[in-house]
Structure 1
């Protein structure tokens, strides 16, 4: 099991009363101080005896690494706040790869993730940790992440919710090919023709020696417009996105993805 789900406390955090949000500020001055930045904890692990290193996804600064000094102490205000899937406002200082956390405040307003939705949330976090470079802002992806957590919390169909987020992640990181045009013919994809998708170039006609997932032109069109009403689209898009993500990960396994496959076939 991945470290992302190793701490069961993250599934049922005891949150302090919400505080009034502060207006976020960008880093400025020699200390690189940032205050009140919308953020979520993606992953954390122990650092020295009483501290944590926290990987956070922030709206205006992307994925950042922060040292939360003393966060493991019993009476630390951060101890009950630095939980996954809880909207926070984080403050930090420093310009090195690892900054120093100044404060984190729970914002509230989101339902907790439970059961399958919780595991899906860990899957999203693992994708972000492994595919987002540090300090690369993606505000639109951050908003999509918040929307995805809300959809999972409201028990919307997990396979469809995950496919939409996976596609958004590939688009936001600049590695998503246009699924609506065939690279073999330069023409729009035909809904009645089968294709494979070259991860670097886009859809092309199927060849005899191809071992990539075969998908219909209709599935490619549906994925591009986020239409998952057709069960065939749901099934083919699952295989397609698994293939495209594996390419971007260089074959590195996703621990939570394998658990989802084993348990729910998502």
Structure 2
């Protein structure tokens, strides 16, 4: 068995004296693990880091085996991650969320957005909104997608400012005003009504929205809290002078 694919490295763990088990999100083969022989060497360690892109060749005698990876670095981001705590926690969050999907289950849309996040990892203006969109996509790909196209009560597609915590559907201002204390805020950037450089209040609303449904539908049923990198990333955002 052999295949070649592009991958975003999510993490590594030691295996034996000289090797590592590499975890990567690939374009066509989903989240995949494989053994990298000699992966702990000085030559290989710099590019076997979370957040880097790599060209991968996976080989195994049988499809169900762990298999081995041959790795060629494609795009290195280690310097960017070392320089920014926000960037470092953002990559950790992406990896944590991708571990919610089954291994070897292709999710091309998730791969696409994960790569988009990685490509903007050093852009503090765009990164927060991209992460919210990534969490929205995680919910969709795991069967808990939000319906933000029209009002759950009236069917109108305009003036959508709330989300029902029960149904995950959008609610218009007119229909939801009387119940606003029971509804979640729907930030305009998720509707394409705001620039990519979204204001802090919208970003906070976005993370509150996704955090509610991630907790209820994905983490709480597993008996788990939201991933630690998420809290760490939000803590870094809160340190920005314009976010106070």
| TM-score after normalising by structure 1 | 0.71
| 1:215 to 2:215 alignment | no
Find the counterpart in structure 2 of residue 258 from structure 1.
231
Looking at structure 2, the residues matched to 79 and 109 of structure 1 have their Cα atoms a distance apart, in angstroms, of 12
Which residues of structure 1 form unaligned runs of 5+? Answer: 1-31
Distance 1:264 1:234, change over 3 A: closer
Distance 1:156 1:210, change over 3 A: closer
Following superposition, the deviation at residue 223 of structure 1 comes to 1.2
Looking at structure 2, the residues matched to 211 and 67 of structure 1 have their Cα atoms a distance apart, in angstroms, of 51
Following superposition, the deviation at residue 33 of structure 1 comes to 0.7
Find the counterpart in structure 2 of residue 128 from structure 1.
98
Residues 223 and 233 in structure 1, CA contact (< 8 A), matched pair in contact too: no
Matches within 5 A, 1:101-140: 101-108=68-75, 112-113=80-81, 114-115=83-84, 116-129=86-99, 131-140=100-109
Residues 64 and 98 in structure 1, CA contact (< 8 A), matched pair in contact too: no
Residues 9 and 48 in structure 2, CA contact (< 8 A), matched pair in contact too: yes
Residues 54 and 66 in structure 1, CA contact (< 8 A), matched pair in contact too: yes
Distance 1:236 1:137, change over 3 A: same
Q: Which has the higher helix share?
A: 2
Find the counterpart in structure 1 of residue 67 from structure 2.
100
Which residues of structure 2 form unaligned runs of 5+? Answer: none
Matches within 5 A, 1:66-81: 66-72=34-40, 74=41, 78-81=44-47
Looking at structure 1, the residues matched to 213 and 57 of structure 2 have their Cα atoms a distance apart, in angstroms, of 35
Looking at structure 1, the residues matched to 230 and 161 of structure 2 have their Cα atoms a distance apart, in angstroms, of 30
Residues 126-177 of structure 1 show CA distances to partners (whole Å, capped at 9, x for unaligned) of: 1112x22111112232222222112222333432232122223333444312
The farther-off stretch of 206-215 and 230-239 is 206-215
How many equivalent pairs are there? 226
Residues 91 and 102 in structure 1, CA contact (< 8 A), matched pair in contact too: yes
- The one of 146, 156, 164 aligned to 1:188: 156
Secondary structure of the structure 2 residue equivalent to 1:180: coil
Residues 230-261 of structure 1 show CA distances to partners (whole Å, capped at 9, x for unaligned) of: 65433322210111222233222201112223
